[in-house]
């Protein structure tokens, strides 16, 4: 048990440091642009990181991860609009809704692999998208949840203030990162990696492929739901585009940009994606074209994400020296 | 764990009209070292599939220490104590040698459902070390499986089967695809493992030098049926075996 607390303590320390640093920079500079970036970064980094638990760790490429993101956003937004819920309670309920939705969809999807899995997850996401568009009395249809989301202060945290929301988002991202890293390093995480590497041998050793894949699916969906909650706080609403396939696509893009094999890769990818996207959108209307070109260069040129590339080069150098 | 007694009684497997295993009755006594030989397509690997539960037999029974294990699923059979290494090493490519063994032990014992401890648990890491020591894999402990040589990958495959403390260990061509030198190193390790653990070991092998050097008894299969069985000497004198399989090179003069 000591080995556990050692690595976990290291992560907690690192997380606390990262949070302090982010908070100091955000509050020190206090620029609205930076706060805005922090919120969007935390939201999408969390979405990409949770998706990579499926893609990078478990070897399941989901094209429908945004469904749980949208589920979290809508559940949270709807609960807050009733006026009867506090933010922490609505947050927990929204996570539960995302987890439950992931449990149901996952139970139907994880028996399949590869392209069949990818397309079935995509199908369920588009189903949710259609439901959101069609159920106008509840969701507002293509107008989204209108009228804003009330954000009553709790524990001295007022999420209506941009700086509070930025720190809250950063905290959610860092806490989730520490938790997910522990999951990856646990015996459960080792089982997921076994399933990625060689599901047949894992089953031969007595691992239930179905249960462990479903476990990964639910955990990933829950954290995507948290990203959705942050998103609905950010835009003070929820929109059908959250559940559209392009949102899942962007998360996959971020993972490919940052790196699939390195745990922090998706976080780096999310930062790069947002920075690139902002810069390119400011310069041209055809930003899809440029983002696509960058992805092509990465996929064909490096054949891996940026952090994969850096870590591998560093490892090789170390090996040559020794 | 000491060896177990493996009995196959009237085992038969047909795929449509093709009979891959034809009324095979064989006994492998506890703690023995036996080879299974035979031409390609003789049904050697199929026989292993039937014993390990990968395939269900069309007829016949498999007994381990007298207990009927016919038709049980693969995991249950592994738990009963029949281990198996594969013809083509079947590994977790990104896991290091130490992690692979720890993962095998941990999964076998059903200890994977833990989120808040570290992998590998200490006691399991220690047992993985013992297995590495026994198999001579300790120097490679921290190397990922995908970066091992072909021979070491097969050795790791054997080690992963061994890590589950089997009573009976089935090795499907443990030296396939190896150079002559690597072959002997491998077989020497296997031989020493057998001596150290006292388990019942059955291996499929094409290299007759190896078979006749180390096996206590040899079973010859042809067209899915048992053609002959006995000590290496007896098998090498058997005219039917010489004609069907061995040829002149490995034959001892037929008994008068």
pLDDT in tens, B128-181: 999 998 888 999 999 999 999 888 899 999 999 988 889 999 999 888 888 888
Residue A288's pLDDT is: 78
Dump pLDDT digits (tens) for B22-47: 888 999 999 999 999 988 888 889 99
Dump pLDDT digits (tens) for A172-222: 999 999 999 999 999 999 999 999 999 988 888 888 889 999 999 999 999
Q: Is residue A297 part of a domain?
A: no
The DSSP symbol for B109 reads T
Residue A182's pLDDT is: 93
Domain positions in chain B are 6-91+166-246
Over range A260-288, report the average pLDDT: 86
Res A54 pLDDT > 70 = yes
The model's confidence at residue A5, banded by pLDDT at 50, 70 and 90, is: low
Q: How many domains does chain A have?
A: 1
| A224 in Cβ contact with A50 (< 8 Å) | yes
Q: Is residue A267 part of a domain?
A: no
Contacts of B113 in chain A (CB under 8 A): 187-188
The model's confidence at residue A114, banded by pLDDT at 50, 70 and 90, is: confident
Q: Is residue A261 part of a domain?
A: no
Res B256 pLDDT > 50 = no
Res A120 pLDDT > 50 = yes
Q: Is residue A255 part of a domain?
A: no
Mutation site for B-interface testing, chosen from A180, A194, A209 by largest number of B Cβ within 10 Å:
A194
The CATH code that applies to domain B6-91+166-246 is: 3.40.50.300
Whether B74 contacts chain A with CB within 8 A: yes
Q: Is residue A298 part of a domain?
A: no
Res A1 pLDDT > 60 = no
Res A69 pLDDT > 60 = yes
How, if at all, do strands B200-204 and B217-222 pair? unpaired
A87 is in which domain, residue-wise? 2-244
* Portion of chain A with pLDDT greater than 70, in percent: 98
* Portion of chain B with pLDDT greater than 90, in percent: 36
Nearest-Cα residue of chain B relative to residue A3: B118
- A193 to B90: CB separation less than 8 angstroms, yes or no: no
| B238 in Cβ contact with B228 (< 8 Å) | yes
pTM for the complete prediction? Answer: 0.86
CA neighbor of B159 nearest in space, from B53, B50, B83, B75: B83
Residue A74's pLDDT is: 95
Nearest-Cα residue of chain B relative to residue A189: B115
- The partner residue sitting opposite A183, judged by closest CB among B103, B110, B115, is B115
Distances (CA, A) of B28 to B184, B187, B209: 24, 20, 22
Res A2 pLDDT > 80 = no
Contacts of B92 in chain A (CB under 8 A): 193-194, 197-198, 201-202
Distance from CA of B105 to the nearest CA of A (A): 9
- The partner residue sitting opposite A205, judged by closest CB among B95, B99, B104, is B104
Contacts of A222 in chain B (CB under 8 A): none
Q: Is residue A69 part of a domain?
A: yes
Mutation site for B-interface testing, chosen from A9, A187, A197, A315 by largest number of B Cβ within 10 Å:
A187
- A193 to B92: CB separation less than 8 angstroms, yes or no: yes
Torsion of CA B123, B128, B133, B135, to 10 degrees: 150
Mutation site for A-interface testing, chosen from B55, B103, B105, B153 by largest number of A Cβ within 10 Å:
B103
Mutation site for B-interface testing, chosen from A8, A190, A200 by largest number of B Cβ within 10 Å:
A190
CA neighbor of A145 nearest in space, from A206, A211, A233, A29: A233
How many residue pairs bridge chain A and chain B with CB atoms within 8 Å of each other?
88
- Spatial separation of the C-alpha atoms in residues B79 and B168, rounded to whole Å: 11
Distance from CA of B148 to the nearest CA of A (A): 16
Over range B99-110, report the average pLDDT: 92
Residue A145's pLDDT is: 87
Nearest-Cα residue of chain A relative to residue B75: A206
* Portion of chain A with pLDDT greater than 90, in percent: 50
| B65 in Cβ contact with B47 (< 8 Å) | no
| Cβ within 8 Å of residue A65, ≥6 positions away | A47, A50, A51, A54, A121, A125, A220, A221, A224, A248, A251
| A226 in Cβ contact with A71 (< 8 Å) | no
Over range A90-113, report the average pLDDT: 94
| A209 in Cβ contact with A203 (< 8 Å) | yes
Contacts of A205 in chain B (CB under 8 A): 75, 78, 103-104, 107-108, 164
Q: If you average pLDDT over every residue of chain B, what do you get?
A: 88
Nearest-Cα residue of chain B relative to residue A6: B118
Q: Is residue A83 part of a domain?
A: yes
Residue B73's pLDDT is: 86
- Spatial separation of the C-alpha atoms in residues B126 and B62, rounded to whole Å: 34
Residue A90's pLDDT is: 95
Residue B38's pLDDT is: 87
The model's confidence at residue B254, banded by pLDDT at 50, 70 and 90, is: low
Q: Kindly state the helix (H) or strand (E) to which residue B162 belongs, with its residue range.
A: helix B150-162
Q: Is residue A143 part of a domain?
A: yes
Contacts of A1 in chain B (CB under 8 A): 117
The DSSP symbol for A238 reads -
Distances (CA, A) of B253 to A282, B217, B239, B250: 90, 19, 9, 10
Contacts of A207 in chain B (CB under 8 A): 107, 112
């Amino acid at each position: 048990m000591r080995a556990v607390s050692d690595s976990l303590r290291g992560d907690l320390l690192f997380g606390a440091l990262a949070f302090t640093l982010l908070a100091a920079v955000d509050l020190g500079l206090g620029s609205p642009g930076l706060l805005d970036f922090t919120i969007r970064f935390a939201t999408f980094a969390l979405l990409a990181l949770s998706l990579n638990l499926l893609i990078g760790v478990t070897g399941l490429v989901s094209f429908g991860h945004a469904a749980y993101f949208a589920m979290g956003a809508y559940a949270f937004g709807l609960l807050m609009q009733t006026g009867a819920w506090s933010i922490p309670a609505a947050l927990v309920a929204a996570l539960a809704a995302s987890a439950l939705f992931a449990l149901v969809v996952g139970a139907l999807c994880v028996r399949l692999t590869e392209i069949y899995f990818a397309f079935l997850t995509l199908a369920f996401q588009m189903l949710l998208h259609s439901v959101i568009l069609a159920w106008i009395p509840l969701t507002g249809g293509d107008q989204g949840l209108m009228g804003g989301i009330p954000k009553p202060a709790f524990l001295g945290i007022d999420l209506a203030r941009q700086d509070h929301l930025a720190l809250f988002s950063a905290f959610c991202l860092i806490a989730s990162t520490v938790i997910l890293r522990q999951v990856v390093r646990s015996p459960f995480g080792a089982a997921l990696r076994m399933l990625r590497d060689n599901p047949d041998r894992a089953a031969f050793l007595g691992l239930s492929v179905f249960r462990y894949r479903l476990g990964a699916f639910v955990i990933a969906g829950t954290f995507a739901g948290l990203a959705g909650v942050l998103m609905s706080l950010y835009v003070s609403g929820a929109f059908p585009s959250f559940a559209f396939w392009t949102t899942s696509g962007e998360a996959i893009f971020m993972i490919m940009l940052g790196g699939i094999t390195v745990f922090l890769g998706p976080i780096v990818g999310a930062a790069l994606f947002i920075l690139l996207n902002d810069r390119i959108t400011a310069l041209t209307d055809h930003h899809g074209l440029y983002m696509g070109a960058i992805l092509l260069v990465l996929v064909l040129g490096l054949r891996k994400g940026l952090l994969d590339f850096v870590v591998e080069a560093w490892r090789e150098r170390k090996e040559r020296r020794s | 764990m000491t060896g177990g007694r493996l009995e196959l009684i009237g085992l038969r497997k047909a795929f449509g009209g093709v009979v891959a295993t034809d009324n095979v009755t064989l006994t492998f006594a506890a703690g023995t070292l036996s080879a299974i030989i035979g031409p390609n397509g003789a049904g050697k690997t199929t026989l292993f599939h039937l014993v390990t539960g990968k395939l269900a037999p069309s007829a016949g029974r498999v007994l381990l220490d007298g207990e009927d294990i016919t038709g049980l699923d693969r995991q249950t059979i592994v738990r009963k104590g029949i281990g198996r290494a594969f013809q083509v090493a079947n590994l977790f490519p990104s896991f290091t040698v130490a992690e692979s063994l720890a993962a095998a032990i941990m999964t076998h014992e059903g200890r994977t459902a833990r989120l808040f401890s570290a992998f590998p648990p200490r006691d399991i890491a220690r047992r993985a070390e013992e297995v590495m020591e026994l198999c001579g894999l300790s120097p490679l402990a921290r190397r990922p499986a995908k970066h091992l040589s072909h021979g070491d990958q097969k050795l790791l495959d054997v080690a992963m089967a061994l890590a589950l403390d089997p009573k009976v260990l089935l090795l499907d061509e443990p030296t396939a695809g190896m150079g002559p030198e690597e072959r002997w190193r491998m077989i020497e390790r296997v031989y020493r493992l057998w001596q150290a653990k006292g388990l019942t070991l059955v291996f499929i092998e094409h290299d007759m030098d190896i078979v006749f050097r180390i096996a206590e008894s040899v079973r010859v299969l042809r067209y899915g049926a048992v053609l002959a069985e006995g000590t290496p000497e007896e098998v090498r004198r058997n005219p039917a075996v010489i004609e069907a399989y061995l040829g002149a090179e490995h034959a001892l003069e037929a008994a008068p």
